[in-house]
Every structure is written in C-alpha cells, then in structure tokens.
Amino acid sequence: MRKLNKILLSILIGLIAINGIWIVYDIRQEIRQNREIARKEYQANDNIIKYIFKDIKEIRNKIDDNYIDLNKQIVTQPDRLRLEKIALEQRLKQVNIMVQNKTVGSLGSGVSIKYKGKFYVLTAGHMATPAIPDVLADKLYLYENNQEICELEIVKHDYIDGSIETINNDLLLLRSKNQNIQPRYYVEITENEPITGTEIYVVGNPMGIEDVVSEGRVIIYKDNYMYYINHTYFGNSGGGVYGYNGQLLGIVSHMYNLKPMINAPDYIVNGAVRLSVIKKFLEDVK
C-alpha cells in the first residue's frame, strides 16, 4: 500500500512538473510573441517617426524655398509695379486726344473709344456750343503732337450752356470726317462705377500741354457727376478718368469751388461725368 502511494505520489509530482514545464514554456512563448509584436510595433513606429521627420524636413525645405521666393518678390515687386505703372500711363496717353474748337478758340481733351465696332472721340459737351440757328457751326479738329490730324464731326451732343446746375450730361461724341483716318489705340469702358475712395488716373491736355497724367481719388457722387481730388486744370475738359486697370470711368467736366465761409481759402474739387451717364448717353448710338 505504501509502495502504491509512493508510485502515485511520484506520478503526481511528475505530472505537476510536466505541467509546470508546459506553463513555463507557454509563458516563454508568449513573452517571445509579445517581444516580436513589440519589436514590429517599435519598427513601425520608428518608420512613422522617420516619415514624420522626413515630411517635417520637406515642409521646412518648402518653407525655406517660399521664404527665399518671398524675399525675391519683396525685392523685385516694387520694380515690377513701377514698370506696370509706367506701361499703363503710356497706354493711357495713347488714347488721349487733343480737341480744338476753332470757332470759339477753345482747347480741350478727349478719349478715343470703340463702341459697337466703330471708333469715336468722347469728350465734354461744353467743347462745342449748343446748336443755335443762324450761328456759325463749330469747327472741331483733332490734334496730335501739335499737328492737325483731321476735322471732326458731331455724332451726338448733350449740353445746356449755363451754370453747372443746368448742365445735363456735358457729353459730346465725335468722329473723323475722313473715314480713312482711324485711331490705332482706344480704351474700353468699364462695367462698374468705382466706390468712393478709389484711386484714379486723369489724363488730358491742361493749358495745351499734351498727355499729362495725374493721380487722384474719388470723393463723392452727386447727380450726374463723380467728384474727385486731382490736379485737373483748364484744358483737361473732356479728358478721361481711369481706374488702375486702365478702363474708362468718367469724362472730365468742370471744377467746383468749395468755399464754406468768406475768409476761408478756396478748395477746388473736380467733376467728371459719371460712368452710368456715359453708358446711357451711348445707348442709342448706331
């Protein structure tokens, strides 16, 4: 009996030992598997980190390149803007016209435009006198470089002689009597009127000096006119008011003297026929 118990005890101890060995083996296998999983995760994370650092490096390189490009633009931008401004001013000079009324001895400006496929000179209405029977008709001529180029005929005239308050539109549309003479340059009329505060160019022939370009700013709209601050003077009448995109915004009409009180100095603002009025004026031109 004792011998049987010893045998059974030995078998039990053996089974426990074998089970312990399997447990240790399973634990070691699990540890190996966990280590392998951890190694793979570490490698994957390491690769992700490498890619992240690579992306960061590429982003930094792009930032550096953009910074270099920005510095170049900062250096070259003023020159580019200056050249664009010079080119625009030269283009506006090309569409500026000198108009002379030999009947009354007046000298002013005009703008070469293309409308419905035909070329015209758009100018201020007061460049020609109102049509009155038995009065000598206006003799209007186009000049360039102080040389008479051609005689002009009236296509449409909208002007009432008198004070600013009685002026209707102050517009005059002309064309060459010689149809073989056509302008090489013309300006387009813009779609939308500029808001107050918009910077503008004014081109004309003040005191007979051709192609004078000056800058200004729109300050207010009143009735048919856009008022602006600028160095406009006699001889600019009929000249163009342009946006910085080079499109026509208005036609120079008159100067307005603001004098709030007797002892206050004069303050001159300039009035131009506004864009909406110009468009309406041209609507029925065939």
Cα distance between residue 197 and residue 228, in whole Å: 9
Residue 251 lies in a domain: yes
Helices marked H in 96-110: none
Task: Give the pLDDT band of residue 239 (cuts 50, 70, 90).
Answer: very high
Task: Give the pLDDT band of residue 106 (cuts 50, 70, 90).
Answer: confident
Nearest to 250 by CA among 113, 140, 132: 113
* Residue in the block written with tokens 């603001």: 258
pLDDT tens column, 145-169 = 888 889 999 999 888 765 545 456 7
CATH number, residue 160: 2.40.10.120
Residue 69 lies in a domain: no
pLDDT tens column, 14-25 = 666 666 666 666
Helices marked H in the chain: 2-95, 275-282
Q: Which residues contact 11 (CB under 8 A, 6 or more apart)?
A: none
Domain count, the chain: 1
Residue 26 lies in a domain: no
Give residue 133's pLDDT. 45
Beta partners for 248? 189, 242
- Is the pLDDT at 194 greater than 70? The verdict is yes
Residue 7 lies in a domain: no
Residue 110 lies in a domain: yes
Contact indicator for 139, 102 with CB cutoff of 8 Å:
yes
Q: Are strands 96-101 and 171-176 parallel, antiparallel or unpaired?
A: unpaired
Residue 271: Cβ within 10 Å count:
23
Residue 79: Cβ within 10 Å count:
9
Nearest to 253 by CA among 272, 231, 227: 272
Cα distance between residue 41 and residue 158, in whole Å: 86
Cα distance between residue 46 and residue 52, in whole Å: 10
Cα distance between residue 130 and residue 21, in whole Å: 123
Between 132 and 75, whose confidence is greater? Answer: 75
Residue-number span of the structural domain to which 112 is assigned: 95-282
Residue 43 lies in a domain: no
DSSP label at 189?
Answer: B
Residue 236 lies in a domain: yes
